[in-house]
Structure 1
Amino acid sequence: MMRRTSLVFCLLIVTLSLVQQRPSYAAFADGFADSAFRQRWQRADQSVADAQTSRSWVWGQQIGPRSFERYQESPQNNRLTQYFDKARMEISQPDADRNSEWFATNGLLVVEMISGHMQTGDQRFEPRTAANVPIAGDPDSPSPTYASLGPIATTNGYNRSENRQGQRISSVLAANGQISDEPNLATPNTTIAHYEAVTGHNVPKVFVDFQQSLGDVTNVLGTFGYPITEAYWIDTRIGGQTQRVLFQAFERRVLTYNPNNAANWQVEMGNVGSHYYRWRYATPMHYFQGSENKATVSEAGTIALNTEGYQGALVDSQPNDPIFPYKRIDRSKITAYQAKIYRLLKLENRYVMLTILPELGGRVYQLTNKATGQNLLYQNPVIKASHLGQRGWWLAAGGIEWAAPTEEHGYLESEPWDYRLEQTNDAARVIVSTTERHTGVQIEITVELTNDSQIVNMRGNYRNPTASPQPFQFWMNAMIAPGGINHLQPSLHFVVPTKQMIVHATQDSALPAPQQTISWPTFNNRDLSRYATWNGYIGLFAADNLSGGWAGVYDPALNQGLMLVDLDPNLPGIKTFAFDDQFDRSLYTIDGSDYAELWHGAQRTFWDYPALPAGQSRSFEAHWLPLHDLGDLSAGNRFGAVGLDRSSTGHLVVAIQPSQAFAATPIKISSEGKLLWQGTLDLKPQQPLRIELEQLVYPNRPISVEWAGQTQALVTP
């Protein structure tokens, strides 16, 4: 980004003619949104990554998200940006000279965070609250924040300092803004070697030397900008340890000097890029995870899980018991927890990693989105016989369980299942199977990953080999806890495209009795799709037929979720459930952890018991897509997911996460016949594309998102 004193290229109100332009961007490869970004990173940091150079990073080791952010003078009023730990790169004029040192620029992020003015044009700024983010150290470090630098920083021409060249720095800046002096901190490295007259600040030798050492690999002024504070010693926490470091804020970067580090790593760039991203978007920054791994399957050894001694407390049921021949439980005989070893299967490709526990009901235990490195499924820290379920006990172990032959959680989640592994050139599979002992129905489920898709495919078949019809239910229950925190946040969103839901069970006295229908998502002026509105646990079935559609759970604050796409008509049931904050979680766990449930079943509700005729079978498919960086979930299909969200200023943000890589795919966004944005870009599952629109689109308006040769019709939030 050029300095704010740059020429203003356009002061006119943006017209639709600008939207019609199609800016040209270089191919997207290896996580870099444009080849110009790749070249800048390689020039500065490739040798560090290859261990050929020993010094700190200029941009950072990992490649962050890409977005089209609003910028008044750029085509379509937004410009391509990409975040790194240390900074952000941007292309404001994609048709300019690519050989210019200023083609791909480096934002004034430090100025924006200190001043609270987010830049959206050469001379256009939007007011925000200054960033209450520590300038150095751990996220919870007690060091000064960007916001606290306001009274001493030069972001508007004020707070200039006198020329003090030759003096040594011994000033200490406290988190509350107080400045004191500790003469023992004045070392030769802190000697002021340069006075910058443009902004009126002194730069110590250790920072001048570091900047000059980078002169061959980067544009120093374009990378750092001018200093906007003096250099101060601060107390911060790094890796949990309190340390004193010297810092100085520049327009584009923060530099720190830690004499306790190894010589070549004593000066480092602050994590300005990741700080700014969290300030601007209020979500964590996820990094591009490149891999060419094909789908593989393996017996991955074992896992030790702290397991309650419930098995010795199980008692035989009698033939007249509705659950016969499954066991009841005598809770007085349950013994203490002990580590128990379970066999572990692993299924993975370049996008997703699954683990499966055949001895705990053949469940999918973990579903890790490699783009975030986090498991999306609940992991109970203990295996405990809860007070729930049809038998009077149930193992809320987490993951995705197979529930049969009855409603709720069935009888099979604690049973060992048979398994076999399959590996082909284009896919890998785990097939788990069992015979359900209450009805005699045989069940087989295939969990599959292909080489090139992020979707987890599940194919199932249940067959009645007996001589008589059998009443039979089958459900899969995904226990979801986005973000790897094993706990739900108020921001959780149940996204089900239906107009009505059927109440299954609830503690919320404002909802009607079971089997009654309510409007969805809004009922009695409450948006029940938002977990924050709940008063007690709620279980709801989708009342409408969602065949071919989708359903999901997404947490906008964590920017992660999981959804079902291309719903199979042979699995017509969709159910959502979660506990509320008042529920006694000690009934199923020991640490207060919790989860949301997304059920997908062969029946519409738990009250439906169609008979499976003798000798007949039913087959089905389910397709699970892990999600991230959508802002919020709006729709999905086998091509991927689209999210619609609002920026802090109310501008509509469209995000696209494909389920597989698409090269040079045309993208077009329009509303009510008006073109809002278009371009041709590569798309990859690891790095959703985020597009912030300049033109205002009001809530509850139709919007069309065309990409990968298909169109998704949505309604704006």
Structure 2
Amino acid sequence: GATVTVDGTPRGETPLTLTLPPGTYRVRVEKEGYEPFERELTLNQKEILRGELKDIAAPTPSLSPLPAQVEEGTQLEITLTAWDNEGVKRLELLIDEAVVYESPGDSLFYLWDTSPVPGEHLLVGRAYDTEGNMGQTEVEIVITRVEMATVTPTTTVPTVTPKPTPPAAQVTVQETEITIPSYPYEAYLREAFDTEYGIPYLWLDRAAYKSASHTLVLKTFKAIILENEYLRLTIVPGLGGRIYKSLFKPTGQNLFYENSVLKPSYWGPLSREENWWLAAGGMEWAFPTDEHGYEWGTPWEYSVGYKEGGITLSLRDTETDRLRVKVDISLLPGRAYFTLKPHIENPTSIEAWYQFWSNTLLTLGSKTVSPETRFIYPTSQVIVHGSGDSNLPQAGETMSWPIYKGRDMSWYGNWVSHLGLFIPQPSRDFVGAYNHETDLGVARIFPRQEAPGVKLFAMGSGFPCTDTYTDDGSQYFEIWGGVTPTFGEYAALAPGEAKEWVEYWYPFWGTGGLDFANRRAALNLDVKEGAVVLGVATTSLERGTVSLLLDGQEIHRETVTISPAQPYRREIPIGASGSFTLRLLGSGGESIAQYEE
């Protein structure tokens, strides 16, 4: 409350009731951050004094830690957040006094391509509240020019012929509609309320649903299309705000699983007879509980923002004052990745416990999961979440990875029943998978300190219950990423606290597998008798050098041009054995990506 003084004497805090004898008094109401309210009051009878304190406190903005100096071409991830006593209305990011991005609310993310701007630069973050008060923070960054280096090949290699240069890079957004055959489940959904989270949810009256006709109907959804020269993302706000499709334009393949129908399954956080999770496909958001959460199938609000030629689609589950989440999906020109920025906030006055996971259903360019699909999870041990294979450890038990009792479980062809796995301590900031039948892979790049949760789920060749979620017998596998290591642990947010992070997702092809991935490249190195096969894919156009080392000595060097539409793959004859290292170097000799066998 605000402090009340009467004739200079403190009398308490608002709301306040005072009993005073008749007379004239000077009443003052004040609170830190607000302009004081003062009035002379003549008291003859009961009086109610009302006044409004004007907010004069500026918001407090904060920029994420940034290096004082970087080389040109570096992609700088800039996060601006702010706090205010009455709430932050909007944020601005300025570079050298020019506004480069604006965002409503108290959080902003901007990816700055420093390639064309060597020199000294001033970054300014500004935050505004509803009264127009402005707070500012700033940081100076020096971008150094990279001198071009001449690279001389040490061996004679085939000539790499780049594909034609694509037209000028751009990102577009459009609204359209999609139609999906659906079972008539909606009439049997009932409303309920979770008092712990303050969140309404829907449950299925399965007894009534079972007794009704199950004739398929065509269900139409509004869809938002984000597109650049490499990716075409289809987002469906009305179906849980999911990314429904991710079309990789160089190959024409859909990265995600796409179910032929919407059919309510028995899976989810409720009882078997109340659950109705739809294995629709794509990438969904599980919140605030585990096992898909409550909001994977309900409508989400959305808005569109623009930055540096790119487009961000912001999805929100709600604007009400309860535990809530926003997910920003961003697409930039000239990049084959899209970024995710989940933002979970607790605007309430009490501590809130929650889980947040992204769950992505994939097939990697085919209708169902190929037995030639390989899962790349950099770890030596996993925790089993659930298993239908009696020859494997069961729920809660640990299992060696990828080899368990002679079975290489990284290959889907060795899965005979359903299996869910958690990685308790990821050793790298990436996971992925590669379909050797379609020659298409996926990589997820994430900050494992901020979002340590990593899970894999697939059904196996002997899974008997595909008819519980589809009509065509198709299967999928799931890559999960979350804020807690497993479903058994919950994260906490203090009152007014928020949590967010940024991760990158991209498809790639033509590498023959995956051993390492970062935001700029995916590498694969296969050693076979008498040769080494190298594979490199990039998320943007890169001109540089591929280098192969044997026991620390370079044995192959090749000047290359690689792009998402044109990966690199070479078989190098080798007459010796040892430890191999594959490196991708930039045009100035800087390291883009490196994998040591």
**In the alignment, is the contact (CA less than 8 A) between 1:405 and 1:436 conserved in 2?**
no
The reply to whether residue 76 of structure 1 matches residue 155 of structure 2 is: yes
2:347 aligns with: 465
Of Structure 1 and Structure 2, the greater helix share is in 1
The reply to whether residue 527 of structure 1 matches residue 415 of structure 2 is: no
The reply to whether residue 328 of structure 1 matches residue 211 of structure 2 is: no
The reply to whether residue 616 of structure 1 matches residue 497 of structure 2 is: yes
The 5 A counterparts of 1:228-377 are 291-317=166-192, 325-334=200-209, 335-377=214-256
SS in 2 for 1:395: coil
Could you give the per-residue CA deviations for residues 473-530 of structure 1, whole angstroms, max 9, x where no partner exists? 00101111112x2201111100011111111111111222222222211121211111
Sort the Cα spacing of 1:324 and 1:450 in 2 relative to 1 into closer, same or farther, 3 A: closer
**In the alignment, is the contact (CA less than 8 A) between 1:297 and 1:429 conserved in 2?**
no
SS in 1 for 2:467: helix
Sort the Cα spacing of 1:424 and 1:714 in 2 relative to 1 into closer, same or farther, 3 A: closer
The 5 A counterparts of 1:377-456 are 377-391=256-270, 392-435=275-318, 440-456=322-338
Measure how far apart 1:441 and its partner are: 1.2
2:455 alignment partner, one of 575, 580, 602: 575
Counterpart code for 1:343:
K
Sort the Cα spacing of 1:614 and 1:81 in 2 relative to 1 into closer, same or farther, 3 A: closer
State the distance in 2 between where 1:318 and 1:423 align. 36
1:669 aligns with: 548
Could you give the per-residue CA deviations for residues 410-449 of structure 1, whole angstroms, max 9, x where no partner exists? 1111100000112334211111111399x92121111111
The reply to whether residue 703 of structure 1 matches residue 584 of structure 2 is: no
Aligned length: 433
**In the alignment, is the contact (CA less than 8 A) between 1:568 and 1:622 conserved in 2?**
no
Counterpart code for 1:415:
T
Counterpart code for 1:695:
I
Of Structure 1 and Structure 2, the greater strand share is in 2
SS in 1 for 2:182: strand
1:561 aligns with: 441
Counterpart code for 1:542:
I
Counterpart code for 2:246:
L
State the distance in 1 between where 2:184 and 2:164 align. 41
SS in 2 for 1:504: strand
**In the alignment, is the contact (CA less than 8 A) between 2:345 and 2:496 conserved in 1?**
yes
State the distance in 2 between where 1:337 and 1:460 align. 35
The 5 A counterparts of 1:39-188 are 76=155, 78-80=157-159
1:116 aligns with: none
Sort the Cα spacing of 1:606 and 1:289 in 2 relative to 1 into closer, same or farther, 3 A: farther
Measure how far apart 1:400 and its partner are: 0.4
2:557 aligns with: 678
The 5 A counterparts of 1:193-208 are none
State the distance in 1 between where 2:175 and 2:530 align. 48
Measure how far apart 1:545 and its partner are: 3.4
State the distance in 1 between where 2:246 and 2:286 align. 18
**In the alignment, is the contact (CA less than 8 A) between 1:470 and 1:611 conserved in 2?**
yes
Using the size of structure 1 for normalisation, the TM-score is 0.57
Sort the Cα spacing of 1:452 and 1:555 in 2 relative to 1 into closer, same or farther, 3 A: same
SS in 1 for 2:329: strand
| Aligned-residue CA RMSD (Å) | 2.5
The reply to whether residue 607 of structure 1 matches residue 482 of structure 2 is: no
Measure how far apart 1:684 and its partner are: 1.4
Sort the Cα spacing of 1:593 and 1:410 in 2 relative to 1 into closer, same or farther, 3 A: same
Counterpart code for 1:457:
T
Could you give the per-residue CA deviations for residues 64-93 of structure 1, whole angstroms, max 9, x where no partner exists? xxxxxxxxxx973643377xxxxxxxxxxx
State the distance in 2 between where 1:631 and 1:380 align. 27
1:633 alignment partner, one of 501, 514, 523: 514
State the distance in 1 between where 2:469 and 2:163 align. 36
State the distance in 2 between where 1:682 and 1:321 align. 55
Could you give the per-residue CA deviations for residues 74-117 of structure 1, whole angstroms, max 9, x where no partner exists? 973643377xxxxxxxxxxxxxxxxxxxxxxxxxxxxxxxxxxx
Sort the Cα spacing of 1:80 and 1:505 in 2 relative to 1 into closer, same or farther, 3 A: same
Sort the Cα spacing of 1:697 and 1:446 in 2 relative to 1 into closer, same or farther, 3 A: farther
Counterpart code for 1:473:
Q
State the distance in 2 between where 1:538 and 1:289 align. 44
Could you give the per-residue CA deviations for residues 672-710 of structure 1, whole angstroms, max 9, x where no partner exists? 023221022222121001121111464x83423242221
Measure how far apart 1:610 and its partner are: 2.2
State the distance in 2 between where 1:454 and 1:662 align. 12
**In the alignment, is the contact (CA less than 8 A) between 2:279 and 2:469 conserved in 1?**
yes
Counterpart code for 2:461:
D
Could you give the per-residue CA deviations for residues 341-360 of structure 1, whole angstroms, max 9, x where no partner exists? 10010111111110100000
Measure how far apart 1:563 and its partner are: 0.8
**In the alignment, is the contact (CA less than 8 A) between 2:198 and 2:323 conserved in 1?**
no
State the distance in 2 between where 1:516 and 1:365 align. 34
Counterpart code for 2:301:
D
**In the alignment, is the contact (CA less than 8 A) between 2:239 and 2:298 conserved in 1?**
yes
The unaligned stretches of length 5 or more in structure 1 are 1-73, 83-286
SS in 2 for 1:536: coil
State the distance in 2 between where 1:559 and 1:452 align. 22
Counterpart code for 1:510:
N
2:42 aligns with: none
Measure how far apart 1:309 and its partner are: 0.8
Measure how far apart 1:575 and its partner are: 0.8
2:376 alignment partner, one of 487, 495, 520: 495
State the distance in 2 between where 1:627 and 1:650 align. 27
Using the size of structure 2 for normalisation, the TM-score is 0.68
Sort the Cα spacing of 1:382 and 1:498 in 2 relative to 1 into closer, same or farther, 3 A: same
2:99 aligns with: none
**In the alignment, is the contact (CA less than 8 A) between 2:225 and 2:235 conserved in 1?**
yes
2:392 aligns with: 511
State the distance in 1 between where 2:596 and 2:559 align. 23
Counterpart code for 1:533:
N
SS in 1 for 2:478: strand
Sort the Cα spacing of 1:320 and 1:447 in 2 relative to 1 into closer, same or farther, 3 A: closer
SS in 1 for 2:485: coil
SS in 1 for 2:200: coil
Sort the Cα spacing of 1:697 and 1:344 in 2 relative to 1 into closer, same or farther, 3 A: farther
